[in-house]
Structure 1
């Protein structure tokens, strides 16, 4: 009863005059139209020409392998033979497998789940921000997310960060309900969603825990001891769900499951805490791929903010290569945080504005610190999980700054200052792209200066008139400034779509992507299929095995990439002697830079002693110049021209 009374009082009479946004419905037709238009923008940006330029090379082979049987499905097997697994948990890829089962293993069928998650994230963010700060704030936040460059390129790619972002938003909805009601079930739902997020991309899902935990600890309408007890139970559930699949894999005998990709210790827990954990943050920890991985794309673009970099860590988000992907509106979000801070006695149980600041502000702060100090392998598209908080703070901050602008005091200057700071950041980004900055920078300066000049010039009469009608006349100036600030991110999001670029590492804007991912060596594949005979394994493959898996769906043993298999000469000899393996596709000369005890060098020595070389004329070509047709976009790997095919039939 007490809980019901508290909630009812909270809904009927806010304790603070600074939380004026009460309506929870779209009260006007224009608001419904605005939301519909934003969702249509999101649908267009995520679905237009989706899959027409193919997909990248690393994850689709695993999707095909996981479609074959439940064993591969559960263990996220990279290859049809189940020799190795992906370097990520399976949940995000289970959605891709389901979609491929329904729509076929095509680029569209594989990319569809991420595109749907992107649209749903826009709708859910609108609902969350509207619940806390009103319709207008929700619409602005949804628009910022719908036109986010990094989110759009990720929504159109096989990477599963967009799926993780949606799961995080569902967790945010649950913890908001928990903070409003103090009910344990909502907090447990939040913990379950973060646990599922862990099984999508491991420790990256935990970046929202400071925000979720702090919100419930401060705002839930229960005693402090009850809140701590609830948080302890939620943490327990979180850990159980998070490590359930990891423990199941590690408890399975190694001979009955794939070798864990991107590891040396063949352990999912080691991968979660090392390769996908400490190594991401500190550049240390377990994992087999500390430098490069030729099996995961033509180029692995990494962000390494290591000691000695010329850019100070606190400003790393404001500089390239991160800035052009997700920092176009970062100054606006920061000013929005400042505007939401009110210097008064805090009442977090009843002040939804303060709750919003705690949730989204801590979300942005935690991830901003992580991306600024991480010295491990951090790709640009990881910013996808930070952008919902950034977009939410932009929406709420703009509404708050507009209200403060119409009042007296120093807060009235936050709005024009926010426009100036955001425009300055965008100009800094565009300087690095002379061909685009040549016309975008003058346009941005002209529109923003006009908007800021009107807003600043109107401050004097507003201080004396206090006429709401006069203040509303300034809305076009603010709108003009916002349009100017959205030109850059919108173009950066649209360029990859209209230029038809696709890459293993999705990048927005005029990036260095090489266009559609290469072709397959169809002649080599035909030769392997024709002469496979009774061998169960099609080939042992150095370089990338992606194209062979996609084209044949045959068991292969990959020696390179994130899902490399630690094949020994003893095991190789046994496979050949038993007739399970005939062909080896190896580098044609020893690699002096090869580490890890020179695995491939040992295999090459064995092959030279026991197998014969298949002449290039016999298999026509080992190059990647041929293509299997538009849409498949398969690649034999960047170093396929230096690979030599060995036939070990004589050793059998």
Structure 2
């Protein structure tokens, strides 16, 4: 029990941080909360990841994370806690798996350091308290790393197949991003597995096959079933187009048909992107430190430790490189995928260098890593808390001197100061993140964030970015209106944009069609299809709302909004423009 106490404290502390005041964020990302609500009401909507129970259109990702939230909502009711608690528990499980993985290659102390660094990374605190797909993706990829390490120890094809399956399910969570770890997993197994090269190739091929099966079965079903919801984010109702285009190669090239702004203009590319104002506070606290310890640990480590550094270093460098140079849509919270690798490298590298601290080279590397940490945290804290920034810098530099003189300095004094200096900055920022409610489509770690942008309004009040990135909260009169006789209609209402639809659906509990999908640029439905649904009495109301203009993609949603405005009489309920599609058309 005593040996397990540090791990229990790590997991317990992580659970408190990730669950504390979790409900303050409400629906968090209403887009996925609405899909969970739909899945709780309809198994068909749950399987395809539809945003409403009647199944008009899916979320613009593969639906594995929606499956988890939908099941939780079925069991515990549709509420903020049933949607968000699974993400927090995924975070605790990810920390535990990271500890177990690093422990196998570098020992318990390294595993504990890795877990603490990971748990206190601000973007990890953000995303494990939020309902985007990233929480499940990180859990699955860490599980894949654990299986790869187990496989490499004894050339076990079974463990390697499990690693492939974990990455495959990761594809069902967030598509091609899951594949960024494949070079690292393959290299670690090829380097370390105690078997012939022929068997290594055979085992890796089997793992690749498992990945294809685990990630491809749902894609095959979707492509073969014609009577299903439209695939959100695609222009041709194809999940393969979504995976390879809007959510695939388009993220690299910037050529994303249907994206607002054409998928371009998402910040300057280059290695400095991860250290800049937008992403620095999310992930960059210990990123330079990890790079220093990666090189030094590879030089000073034993074979098993080098295997771990090869795996985590490959994960970090490939993922960081893609995030740094991709030209398409990228958001700061994507960087949560770097957090496990940073934690593992720091845990492994710190233990390796501490073991050899009496050697000048190791002492210099350990001291330099902490000095880099102190300077980086100072720069990130300066705009938020100058006093804390100064304290971190002073403590860090003092501890760096102590580590350089580690042969003479007492470890009982140097080590605690070094740990506090390294973790005080990201720890304080993480607590501020947990204490701040976060909502909308683009969350950001830290005490506060603000975003803005332009809109186009059709038949309703201007809600700013609410038409695209955040969901409206309907008033009581509008809720009563949507619920009244809603059972007679397949959709109680329709509105342009998925976040608009999500807000009205979550507020009323009845299906609301998201015309045009997330960006309002999907041809779902077309004007002709929408007119047929209106003629057959399947949609009760159309709600005016705001949405962003797009340079590419379908203009069907705009045409639908204009047709409704020209055809039906407008009324205003709770400051929302409402069109009764069952009423007689205007002359």
| TM-score calculated relative to the size of structure 2 | 0.89
Tell me, what secondary structure is at the counterpart of 1:650? coil
Q: 1:288 aligns with which of 258, 274, 290?
A: 258
Alignment correspondent of 1:545: 501
Is residue 429 of structure 1 aligned with residue 429 of structure 2?
no
Cα distance, 1:151 vs structure 2: 0.7
Alignment correspondent of 1:568: 526
Which shows bigger deviation, 514-523 or 487-496?
A: 514-523
Contact 1:178–1:187, Cα closer than 8 Å, also in 2 = yes
Alignment correspondent of 1:640: none
Cα distance, 1:75 vs structure 2: 0.7
Q: Which has the larger radius of gyration?
A: 1
Task: Please list the CA deviations of residues 133-188 of structure 1 after superposition, one character each: whole Å capped at 9, or x if unmatched.
Answer: 11111111111112111111101111121211111111111111211111211111
The answer to which structure, 1 or 2, has the higher relative contact order (CA under 8 A, 6+ apart) is: 1
Tell me, what secondary structure is at the counterpart of 2:25? coil
Which shows bigger deviation, 500-509 or 178-187?
A: 500-509
Alignment correspondent of 1:579: 537
CA separation of 1:605 and 1:126: change in aligned 2, threshold 3 A: closer
Alignment correspondent of 1:479: 416
Contact 2:370–2:397, Cα closer than 8 Å, also in 1 = no
Alignment correspondent of 2:446: 509
Q: How does 1:235-634 map to 2 (within 5 A)?
A: 235-253=208-226, 256-285=227-256, 287-291=257-261, 304-305=266-267, 309=268, 313-342=270-299, 351-407=303-359, 409-431=360-382, 433=383, 436-456=384-404, 458=405, 462=407, 473-513=410-450, 519-530=473-484, 534-543=488-497, 544-562=500-518, 564=520, 566-586=524-544, 596=553, 598-614=555-571, 616=572, 619=573, 621-623=574-576
Alignment correspondent of 1:180: 153
Contact 1:80–1:555, Cα closer than 8 Å, also in 2 = yes
Task: Please list the CA deviations of residues 601-638 of structure 1 after superposition, one character each: whole Å capped at 9, or x if unmatched.
Answer: 43244334532222x2xx3x225xxxxxxxxxxxxxxx
Tell me, what secondary structure is at the counterpart of 1:376? coil
| TM-score calculated relative to the size of structure 1 | 0.81
Task: Please list the CA deviations of residues 35-87 of structure 1 after superposition, one character each: whole Å capped at 9, or x if unmatched.
Answer: 22222210111111112331221111111111122211111111121010011
Tell me, what secondary structure is at the counterpart of 1:645? strand
Q: Distance in 2 between matches of 1:430 and 1:343?
A: 32
Task: Please list the CA deviations of residues 310-343 of structure 1 after superposition, one character each: whole Å capped at 9, or x if unmatched.
Answer: xx61222222211110110112211211222238
Is residue 153 of structure 1 aligned with residue 144 of structure 2?
no
Q: Distance in 1 between matches of 2:168 and 2:154?
A: 22
Which shows bigger deviation, 244-253 or 48-57?
A: 48-57
Task: Please list the CA deviations of residues 231-272 of structure 1 after superposition, one character each: whole Å capped at 9, or x if unmatched.
Answer: 12221221222221112101211xx10011111111101111
Contact 2:258–2:552, Cα closer than 8 Å, also in 1 = no
Contact 2:122–2:433, Cα closer than 8 Å, also in 1 = no
Contact 1:582–1:649, Cα closer than 8 Å, also in 2 = no
Cα distance, 1:598 vs structure 2: 3.6
Which shows bigger deviation, 549-558 or 440-449?
A: 549-558
CA separation of 1:608 and 1:399: change in aligned 2, threshold 3 A: closer
Q: Distance in 2 between matches of 1:507 and 1:81?
A: 32
Cα distance, 1:367 vs structure 2: 1.0
Cα distance, 1:536 vs structure 2: 3.2
CA separation of 1:592 and 1:146: change in aligned 2, threshold 3 A: closer
Contact 1:85–1:563, Cα closer than 8 Å, also in 2 = no
Unaligned runs of 5+ in 2: 452-465
Which shows bigger deviation, 95-104 or 105-114?
A: 95-104
Contact 2:526–2:556, Cα closer than 8 Å, also in 1 = yes
RMSD: 2.7
Q: Distance in 2 between matches of 1:94 and 1:201?
A: 13
Q: Distance in 2 between matches of 1:132 and 1:392?
A: 10
Tell me, what secondary structure is at the counterpart of 2:544? strand
Cα distance, 1:517 vs structure 2: 7.1
